Amino acid sequence: MSYAAVILQSDFWIINCGLGYKGPGKEEVKARLNAEKMGLKNVEFRPGEIGHLPVADGSVNVILSNCVINLSPEKQKVLRGAFRILRPRGGGWPYPMVATVDMPDQLREQAAMITGCITGAERINRLEEILAEIGFEAIRIHVKSHSRSLVSSWFPGSGAENYVALADIEAFKPL
């Protein structure tokens, strides 16, 4: 069981599906302490799985995600779940890692690439297709210009920066 942090700000909801750890433990405690330190009184932690977000249909404006989507082998299911919970015109979330070219198997099979969300990065054109198939509109994927140096610093000497990049996605649920 993973946890989703739900940040409620009056009529604006954000879901961070990036707390991908098992059960309530050190990570949840740390997240709750961080929310407390920041003075956030409008945060909920709900147990759930990335493919079955514990949020009502059409109730979220924006989804923030770290690389947890890349850890799922069922990206279409995860993105369908995102579509389900978004309000009309909701969307536009950062999707930290996308594949810019196919990754060689020797790199793809390294444990650090798997746990670092590199291996599961979807090719940009395929991600655009998946989002469109689900029903998202106004799809734009913006690769961050500083990606190469960041990825290189996270995985020094691996060459991962030649295959993946950080990106923001604009994809919205229609009215």
Q: What is the CATH number of the domain that holds 15?
A: 3.40.50.150
Q: Which of 39, 43, 38 is nearest to 64 (CA)?
A: 43
In a domain, 59, yes or no: yes
Domain span at residue 127 reads 2-97+123-145+166-172
In a domain, 39, yes or no: yes
Q: Could you report the per-residue pLDDT of 3-30, keeping only the tens digit for each?
A: 455 555 544 444 555 444 445 566 667 7
Burial 111-125 (b: 16+ CB within 10 A, else e): eebeebbbbbbbbbe
In a domain, 153, yes or no: no
Q: Count CA atoms within 13 Å of residue 160 on its CB side.
A: 29
Q: Could you report the per-residue pLDDT of 81-140, keeping only the tens digit for each?
A: 889 988 898 887 765 789 999 999 888 888 888 877 788 889 999 999 999 999 999 999
Q: Number of structural domains, the chain?
A: 1
In a domain, 106, yes or no: no
* 30 contact partners, CB below 8 Å, separation of at least 6: none
This prediction's pTM: 0.80
